[in-house]
Structure 1
Amino acid sequence: MGKGLHDQFTVARETFAEVDATLGFSLSGLMFEGEMAELTQTQNAQPAILATSVALFRALAQERNFQVAERGAFALGHSLGEYSALVATGALSLADAVRLVRRRGEAMQESINDLSKPTTMTALMLRGTSVEALRTHLSGIQPHLPEGETAELANINSAQQVVLSGTEAGVGAAVQELQARQVAARAIDLPVSAPFHCSLMQPAAEVMASALTRVRVGAPCVPLISNVRARPVTTPNDIVDLLVRQVTGTVLWAPSVEFCRGQGVENFIVFGPGKVLANLLRREHPRDKIKMVSELEDVLNFTDDLYDGSK
């Protein structure tokens, strides 16, 4: 993970070296040569994704003179990606962001260590219904879940795809009922180590509230679209508050994208390892221009053909 970037670009090597020094161990060694089981532990995966995203962003800035303050109307990130967006817009230093997401991952794992019930996250494809209708069905189902079980809306990824988070039995019961009502079609359990973005993460939210008091958050050079609000945020105090609320709140990804499009944005550049967000955008908005910067070749082959006067 990230090795091609490291080997090709000085700025990427500097980025990974800064992350290693900040954490006090060789995360890059784990990324380049380590065991997948260790890398995918959330306290390692979160800073690894952040490091790779920032290395991609900085490499593009250096190689293609990409300047977000000149090119971007808004910046946004999906869950952890909000920290990458804050680094890219100058609101948060890389070192502070790395420390925060490492602690975020640890706190999320710690939040479920004492739970006696197994937890899960499950992606749902909706069956010809709206997200708002799903919310209504889910709110009616929750009071009838077995005692102590939880099923909450964690992500709204597109008009057709959402994610539920909570206890295994609670999410399973909610999915079964939603399918019986023909609200949801296919359900896919996600390979995650904790039930992110639900009330079970409240202990982690409290940890992050404390951790965020120890870093400097500035104003981003372009407005950040908050996961929690799906609206722009520019003031440091609001950014901090919303980062805390994000730990337990629903990631309003699709509404965030729709807000941007409502402001005339038709072009998106997606930074970070993997193709999930770019593919979501392409399926949802096939006429928009979507650029993916997820690996070395994307930086090398990047062409500046998005900027024809449109946002």
Structure 2
Amino acid sequence: MTLTFQTKAQGPKVAYLFPGQGAQAVGMGKELYDNSAAAREVFDKVDESLGRSLTKVLFEGPEDDLRQTINAQPGIMAVSLACVKAMEENLDLDEMPQPIVMAGHSLGEYTALAVSGVLDVADTTKLVQMRGQLMQDACDQNPGTMAAILGLDQMALEEVARETGVWVSNINTAEQIVISGDRMGIAQAMDLAAARGAKKVIALRVGGAFHSGLMEPARAGLVEAIESMDFHNPTVPIVANCTGDPLNTADSIKEELVAQVSGCVQWKRSVDYMMGTGV
């Protein structure tokens, strides 16, 4: 049976936002699984689509296994979808929030595909696992890392990136920006950013230089995977990570997903757009 999501509710108008990699924790989703039949159906569909028990890793760990990209990405997606289905199960149509836009941070953009009907849950799960594997392969080919820079504006940080050979990879707020690159370049960029007035520089515990040119080896395989699937126009606009603009067609979403794997996540621009819609 195909799982579908209710996007024509009659409750308050909202934006649905979905988290990215790094939000995982052992045990996440277990309470939903135990207490919501609708949520349990999501987890079972994800396990069936993967041909393995992802829920066992989610609920029992160990943490090192859950942190692996191939588990963390579909796991976070599964819990996000289960939350939406549990909400639908417990709220009447006139109480259910009505999403007028959706967005997801990196991986979260894929969760939005399922909720907005671009792909079904099974295909979204398969695509997320493929993306995770392609990104892991790119990390193995081009090792790297990431760092968060606080208190330095985008223009100044872009200059630091040019001088050290790294990439600006996530613009989360005006003064919370993430950079990606090889380990030596990131170390140099952190020192240079601190010298130029950054309030704080934080090395991130990640498996690679995500959303940077070092992820380019993942692009061809991702294009192939996307083209093998039947994409539909979204029932609700998805705000693109790379541009902060709303996407309303299957083709524009395909282009965004390919660009996003090695492109900068313009999260501030996305949030600014959503706030402008009145949510």
Normalising by structure 2, what TM-score? 0.86
Q: Distance in 2 between matches of 1:260 and 1:213?
A: 29
The equivalent of 2:29 in structure 1 is 2
Look up the equivalent residue of 1:249 and give its one-letter code.
Answer: G
Cα distance per residue 1:24-48 (max 9 Å; x no partner): 0000011111211011100110000
Percent of matched pairs sharing the same residue:
38
SS at match of 1:72: strand
Q: 1:223 aligns with which of 234, 237, 248?
A: 237
SS at match of 1:210: helix
Q: 1:132 aligns with which of 137, 147, 155?
A: 155
SS at match of 1:76: strand
Aligned residues: 252
Question: Unaligned 5+ residue runs, structure 2?
Answer: 1-27
CA root-mean-square deviation:
1.8
The equivalent of 1:162 in structure 2 is 177
Q: 1:16 aligns with which of 43, 53, 70?
A: 43
Q: Distance in 2 between matches of 1:91 and 1:60?
A: 20
* 2:231 paired with 1:206: no
Look up the equivalent residue of 1:231 and give its one-letter code.
Answer: D
Once the two structures are TM-superposed, the CA of residue 172 in structure 1 deviates from its matched residue by 1.1
1:23 and 1:98 in contact (8 A); partners too: yes
* 2:219 paired with 1:196: no
Cα gap change, 1:139/1:187 in structure 2, threshold over 3 Å: closer, same or farther? closer
Question: Unaligned 5+ residue runs, structure 1?
Answer: 266-311
Q: Distance in 2 between matches of 1:64 and 1:14?
A: 17
* 2:256 paired with 1:242: yes
Q: Distance in 1 between matches of 2:185 and 2:161?
A: 13
Cα gap change, 1:94/1:62 in structure 2, threshold over 3 Å: closer, same or farther? same
The equivalent of 2:200 in structure 1 is 186
* 2:142 paired with 1:151: no
Q: Distance in 1 between matches of 2:203 and 2:91?
A: 39
The equivalent of 1:174 in structure 2 is 189
Cα gap change, 1:194/1:140 in structure 2, threshold over 3 Å: closer, same or farther? closer
Q: Distance in 1 between matches of 2:215 and 2:138?
A: 6
* 2:60 paired with 1:60: no
Look up the equivalent residue of 1:235 and give its one-letter code.
Answer: T
SS at match of 2:200: strand
